[in-house]
Amino acid sequence: MHKRIFAFLYILFSFHFAFSESWITPRAVYGEDDREEVRGAPLPWMKKAKAVGGFLFSKSYTDLPGGGIRIKPQTLKERYQLCDGEPFENQKLGPDCTGFLVGDDLLVTAGHCLRGKTCPQGVWIFDFELDGSGRVRETYHRQELYRCVEVLSASKGNLRDHGLIRLDRSPGREPLKLSPNFPKLKEAVVVIGHPSGLPKKLGSGGEVRALEKSGSYFTSNLDTFSGNSGSPVLSESTGLVQGILVRGDEDYESTSEGCSVTKRCDPEGCEGEDATTTVFLAEMLSSLNPSNFANSQSRNR
């Protein structure tokens, strides 16, 4: 059964691209900056955030004796040469991409966060977030690290940018459920992930601005950044995943003072943030893991 499913996925979504970190595309802030720490978010969103992880390429950490890692220390301000007073400027950075569980050991991310049909060198972690004292961990033990062992489906580009992988074992967390329906215009959405590599954040206050004519992706005005690639975009009303965050507008803008500031856009301005719709993934997972499929009598498109 598994071999038949894999063959179907391989044919349907071919691995037709070469990996490039330049494809981890930028984002921006629309209106007010609605990002907040997941620890202070409403309880339902805190629970969903447990299924969201961050990927670190091997260049982003140092191996430790015993199989653990230490994330290379760098603050947001240092990496992006930010001006004084920018949000989260002194927080330390970690993940290069975001992903989320859709099964016991199945994880979805952006296609450009992978190396085609080959698992990239690096690790997934699930608890890169601020603790009660406002600090973030830099060291992770071997049992807290997860690795890709199989790429089940992947594609990158304007249509259906996505990656579906199998981890080396189950992280033991409740997976997120995918909506079988296309999002509606003006539907309120939220995002969970690692903007610019920051500790895990919840971004709310967004809405669907446009739906691509084939239904492959939609555009929102969520506040997202480069490390958000692969983040789940969820319906605020149902809590189901509507999309995979894959690209957007510029993150930061240079100033005459020689430092950079967060790019800000009107809620209806700039290019918006694109997310691959997850309807097709929901159909795949109904075969791989039926309990993860959110049943519906009809689609809204």
Listed by start position, the domains of the chain span 1-6+30-289
Euclidean distance between CA atoms 91 and 135, whole angstroms: 8
Which amino acid, residue 135? R
10 Å CB burial of residue 239 (0-12, 13-18, 19+) is middle
What's the CATH code, domain 1-6+30-289?
Answer: 2.40.10.120
Task: Of 163, 226, 217, 155, give the one whose Cα is nearest residue 193.
Answer: 226
Rg over CA atoms, the chain? 18
Instruction: Please give the pLDDT value at position 31.
Output: 63
Q: How far apart are CA 83 and CA 99, in angstroms?
A: 30
**What is residue 269's predicted lDDT score, i.e. its pLDDT?**
74
Contacts of 126 (CB under 8 A, 6+ apart): 50, 51, 52, 53, 54, 144, 146, 171, 173
83: tokens are 């001006």
pLDDT in 10s for each residue of the chain, 301 residues: 443 444 434 333 333 333 333 334 545 676 677 899 999 899 999 999 999 999 999 999 999 999 999 999 999 999 999 999 999 999 999 999 999 999 999 999 999 999 778 899 999 999 999 998 889 999 999 999 999 999 999 998 767 899 999 999 999 999 999 999 999 999 999 999 999 999 999 999 999 999 998 889 999 999 999 999 999 999 999 999 999 999 888 889 999 999 999 998 887 878 889 999 999 888 888 776 555 544 333 333 3
Instruction: Determine the pLDDT at residue 19.
Output: 33
The end-to-end CA distance of the chain, in Å, is 31
Q: Tell me the whole-structure pTM to 2 decimals.
A: 0.85
Neighbours of 190 (CB within 10 A): 23
